[in-house]
Amino acid sequence: MSCEPELRKIFLIPAAAALSVTLFAQDPDDVREQQANSASLQQGKMQFQKSCGFCHGLAGRGASGPDLIRSALVSHDQDGNLIGPVIRGGRPDKGMPSFQLPDSEIRRISEFLHAEANSAASVARRIPSEYPLEKLLVGNADDGRAYFSVYCAGCHSASGDLSHIASKYRPFDLQTRIVFPGGAKRTLNVRDASGNVFQGEEFYSDEFVVTLRDSNRWLHTWQRKDVHVDVSNPLAGHETLLKTYSDKNIHDLFAYLETLK
The whole-number pLDDT of residue 15 equals 40
The whole-number pLDDT of residue 18 equals 39
Judge if 141 and 205 occupy the same domain: no
Cα 10 to the center of its chain, rounded Å? 42
The whole-number pLDDT of residue 260 equals 93
**179 contacts: CB under 8 Å, gap ≥ 6:** 238, 242, 245, 250
- Cα(236)–Cα(90) distance, rounded to whole angstroms? 24
Give domain status of residue 213, yes or no.
yes
At residue 171's C-alpha, the angle toward residues 170 and 174, to 5°, is 85
The whole-number pLDDT of residue 12 equals 39
The whole-number pLDDT of residue 24 equals 42
For the chain, 261 residues long, give each residue's pLDDT as a single digit of tens.
444 444 433 333 344 343 434 344 445 555 455 555 678 788 888 888 888 887 888 888 777 777 787 777 787 788 888 888 888 888 877 778 888 988 888 889 989 888 888 877 665 555 555 567 777 788 999 999 999 999 999 989 999 999 999 998 888 788 888 877 766 778 999 999 999 999 999 888 777 888 999 999 899 999 999 999 998 988 888 878 877 888 899 889 999 999 998
Judge if 39 and 103 occupy the same domain: yes
Residue 147, class by beta-carbon neighbours within 10 Å (0-12 exposed, 13-18 middle, 19+ buried)?
Answer: buried
Give domain status of residue 56, yes or no.
yes
What residue numbers bound the domain in which 218 lies?
A: 187-233
Q: Are 205 and 71 in contact (CB under 8 A)?
A: no
Q: Are 218 and 254 in contact (CB under 8 A)?
A: no
Judge if 64 and 121 occupy the same domain: yes
- Cα(201)–Cα(259) distance, rounded to whole angstroms? 34
The whole-number pLDDT of residue 39 equals 80
Judge if 139 and 161 occupy the same domain: yes
User: Could you count the other beta carbons within 10 Å of the beta carbon of residue 118?
Assistant: 11
Judge if 192 and 167 occupy the same domain: no
Judge if 253 and 146 occupy the same domain: yes
What does the DSSP 8-state code read for residue 201?
E
Judge if 251 and 169 occupy the same domain: yes
β 197-205/209-213 pair status: antiparallel
Give domain status of residue 173, yes or no.
yes
Judge if 121 and 76 occupy the same domain: yes
Give domain status of residue 19, yes or no.
no
pTM: 0.47
CATH code for the domain of 84: 1.10.760.10
**18 contacts: CB under 8 Å, gap ≥ 6:** none
Give domain status of residue 20, yes or no.
no
Judge if 148 and 247 occupy the same domain: yes
Q: Are 174 and 258 in contact (CB under 8 A)?
A: yes
Q: What are the helix (H) ranges across the chain? A: 28-51, 53-56, 72-76, 83-89, 103-126, 133-136, 141-151, 165-168, 171-179, 236-242, 247-257
Give domain status of residue 6, yes or no.
no
Number of domains present in the structure of the chain: 3
The whole-number pLDDT of residue 195 equals 94
Judge if 147 and 244 occupy the same domain: yes
